[in-house]
Amino acid sequence: MQTLGNFIDNQRVASQSTRKAPVYNPATGEQSLEVSLASPEETRAAIASAESALTGWRTVTPLNRARILFKFKELIEKNADEIATMISKEHGKVFSDAKGELTRGLEVVEFACGIPHLLKGEHSLNVGRGVDSFSLMQPVGVCVGITPFNFPAMVPMWMFPVAIACGNTFVLKPSEKDPSVPLMLAELLKEAGLPDGVFNLINGDKEAVDVLLSDERVQAVSFVGSTPIAEYIYSTASNNGKRVQALGGAKNHMLVMPDADPEQVVGSLMGAAYGSAGERCMAISVAVCVGDEVADNLITRLSEEIDGMKVGSGLAHREVSHQEEAHMGPLISQQHAAKVREYIDSGVEQGATLLVDGRTRVSADNQQGYFVGPTLFDQVKPGMRIYEEEIFGPVLCIVRVDSYEEAVQLINKHEYGNGTAIFTRDGDCARQFCENIQVGMVGVNVPIPVPMAFHSFGGWKRSLFGPLHMHGPDGVRFYTKMKTVTARWPTGPRAGAEFSMPTMK
């Protein structure tokens, strides 16, 4: 069986670690390979490689850094089908969804290609007579990315293109559950001409992470994953003096107003709740309906749509001709599928009405994989575990409220604040919602309002620890240190220029 190791100094390096983790194809339940879990020494070797590449890389001009990223973009496009197949094999999401993930990641590469423009900084002429002030946006140093299983290509690409474009070097610690794609990205960066040591990759678990969080050569840590780990990463790395952005879990609500377009609501909810088997941090897991009529109509339409859903391997249509692509694939692991089923049990025990039971909707030929079918609950109330906790599976909860105000209060009270959406035709109501909702990313008749790469991505409350979001302007701020220079020259035509601060008088 193939064993994956690390990528250090632009080389795949076999790991000497005796600790390994299995990697499965979640659609079949078969183990496809194993991954070594890096030792502290191996992790330190990756940091050392990034540290030694720093001096050379930060002096490469932004234009030339961008040229390497342009080449990287071309290579990803050339290999897109292979990468998407790899994502689908290890994560389980359907092929078109995997391609979509890659596109969203590529958009960050495209954004980072504009780095000469993004690093221009600020300039003030004549802050005093003959005295100018300007800013330098300099790299922070060795940066670390720790990423989750659910977007093995996109989430690493939220981080490293911007980090390296800004002149930093990078160590990525991807999820040990689907490690093949990040390694392939490392190979493509090398092929694009990235110098040795600028990008390194360590496959590992907590043992490797703890080294990354404490090593004094690491200056910045970007994390995406579950909230308990995000909180741990944020406090540990901050205590060790590093700048940190740690994105956590979510429970995203869609508010459906009585005047919403019903077709649009149902079409949007089907994709937002069940796409990628609900394993998206921006998935909608709660539909908040204003009034019983809205809820009853929605349930009728949703139930019909769910009946027509095809659940199965995300690649079957590419392997067998004349098959249509499945709408939804399996969950990442047997343990996770069991956990999602337990949540469904708990919803029933705590008094919610189970309208569609995904535990029983798995076809005979999918029994070996980690499938849970689409699930729909009505009469869900705050306090129930299925409402309060992140399930990260294909389970949609309907909560009934009497008014817009009650809906807003409910959403604002939830501990997570990653994404939300309102569906309405009333511009004034939508405007109020955008202004008052305590959530980081808001959609108006858009179910999954993931910002484009040139804006920044991040939630509020316990969905993000740290002040800066990912990519876009915040990404550039996170990966640069601002230095402000105030300068005058003693000779030349402006000799005798004056600049006095109030404190100098």
Residues of this chain that bind ligand NAD (CB under 6 A): 146-151, 155, 173, 175-176, 205-206, 209, 224-226, 229, 232, 247-250, 281, 390, 392, 418, 459, 463
**Min dist. Cβ of residue 207 to ligand NAD (A):** 9
| Radius of gyration of the chain measured on its C-alpha atoms | 25
Residue nearest to ligand NAD (CB): 225
Give the rounded distance of the alpha carbon of 163 from its chain centre.
15
Beta bridge partners of 141: none
How far is 399 from 158, CA to CA, in rounded Å? 33
Nearer to ligand NAD, 54 or 439 (CB): 439
How far is 304 from 462, CA to CA, in rounded Å? 35
**3-state SS class at 243:** strand
Q: Looking only at Cα atoms, what is the longest distance across the chain?
A: 88
* Residue 489 DSSP class: -
How far is 328 from 382, CA to CA, in rounded Å? 28
**Min dist. Cβ of residue 370 to ligand NAD (A):** 14
Cα angle value 119/163/82 (rounded, 5°): 125
Neighbours of 315 (CB within 10 A): 21
**Min dist. Cβ of residue 200 to ligand NAD (A):** 15
Nearer to ligand NAD, 71 or 385 (CB): 385
Nearer to ligand NAD, 68 or 157 (CB): 157
Write the secondary structure of 415-461 as one string of H (helix), E (strand) and C (coil): CEECEEEEECCCHHHHHHHHHHCCCCEEEECCCCCCCCCCCCECCEE
**Min dist. Cβ of residue 149 to ligand NAD (A):** 4
Nearer to ligand NAD, 149 or 199 (CB): 149
Beta-carbon-side half-sphere exposure of residue 46 (alpha carbons within 13 Å) = 33
Nearer to ligand NAD, 9 or 178 (CB): 178
**Min dist. Cβ of residue 252 to ligand NAD (A):** 10
Catalytic residues: 281
**Min dist. Cβ of residue 151 to ligand NAD (A):** 6
**3-state SS class at 15:** coil
**Min dist. Cβ of residue 29 to ligand NAD (A):** 19
Nearer to ligand NAD, 265 or 395 (CB): 395
User: What order of strands is seen across the sheet that includes strand 3-4?
Assistant: 3-4, 30-36, 20-25
Give the DSSP H/E element, type plus range, for residue 25.
Answer: strand 20-25
Nearer to ligand NAD, 255 or 332 (CB): 332
Nearer to ligand NAD, 143 or 146 (CB): 146
Nearer to ligand NAD, 158 or 433 (CB): 158
**Min dist. Cβ of residue 501 to ligand NAD (A):** 43
Beta-carbon-side half-sphere exposure of residue 500 (alpha carbons within 13 Å) = 6
**Min dist. Cβ of residue 31 to ligand NAD (A):** 18
Q: Phi and psi of 162, rounded to 5°? A: -70, -40
**3-state SS class at 217:** coil
Secondary structure (DSSP) of 169-204: EEEEE--TTS-HHHHHHHHHHHHTTPPTTSEEE---
Secondary structure (DSSP) of 321-386: TTPPPPSB---S-HHHHHHHHHHHHHHHHTT-EEEE-GGG---GGGTTS-----EEEES--TTSHH
The answer to whether 29 touches 21, Cβ cutoff 8 Å, is no
